[in-house]
Amino acid sequence: MKKTILFAFLLAIGFQSFSQVSSTEQELIKSYFKLTKMALVEDAMALSEKDGAIFWPLYKQYDVEASKLNQYRIDYLFDYVEHVDNITNEQVDAFLKQANTYNKKMTSLKSKYYKLMKKELSSKIAIRFMLVEEYIQTAVKYELLETLPWVGDH
């Protein structure tokens, strides 16, 4: 899981300059992160061939849905960064509402896939994935918070 720290660090660097690169470069960055994350999950899950044949299609479905949520998160974070110097109370409220919406939807998504993985594989494999995913998301969240400007610091 040491690679996760590198992944999160690279994400933070990418986040800081993400808006300054072309859409093609943004897609390359997203693809790199997706591949890096998939390698981390594969390493951490250490699945048998039989379990892997069931797990990976579920993971790919999860990843498609999670990617949409993560794009929503990136969008509202960029909006926050763009307006942080002159942010209004209404914009702060909207930002918090968007963050809460993201968190609720991500929790719901994880719950949905826990149930699917538990049904198709086992509770142990399902919780292992949830813990791996939580670990990665926490590392990414930490790095994002480290790079975001704070209201009132400018």
Compute the residue count for the chain: 154
In-domain check, residue 152: no
Q: How far apart are CA 27 and CA 48, in angstroms?
A: 32
Q: Which domain holds residue 106?
A: 2-147
99-108 — which CB contacts under 8 Å span 24+ positions? 101/72, 102/69, 102/72, 102/73, 102/76, 105/69, 105/72, 106/66, 106/69, 106/137
Counted domains in the chain: 1
Band (9; pLDDT cuts 50, 70, 90): very low
Band (21; pLDDT cuts 50, 70, 90): low
Tell me the DSSP string of 71-98: HHHHHHHHHHHHHGGG--HHHHHHHHHH
Predicted model pTM: 0.81
Whether the Cβ atoms of residue 65 and residue 73 lie closer than 8 Å to each other? no
In-domain check, residue 84: yes
In-domain check, residue 141: yes
CB contact set of 123 (below 8 Å; sequence gap of 6+): none
In-domain check, residue 44: yes
In-domain check, residue 13: yes
Whether the Cβ atoms of residue 114 and residue 45 lie closer than 8 Å to each other? no
In-domain check, residue 154: no
In-domain check, residue 71: yes
Whether the Cβ atoms of residue 145 and residue 79 lie closer than 8 Å to each other? no
In-domain check, residue 153: no
pLDDT at 51: 97
Q: Tokens in use for 92?
A: 């702060």
Encode pLDDT of 56-108 as tens digits.
999 999 999 999 998 898 888 888 888 888 889 999 999 999 999 999 999 99
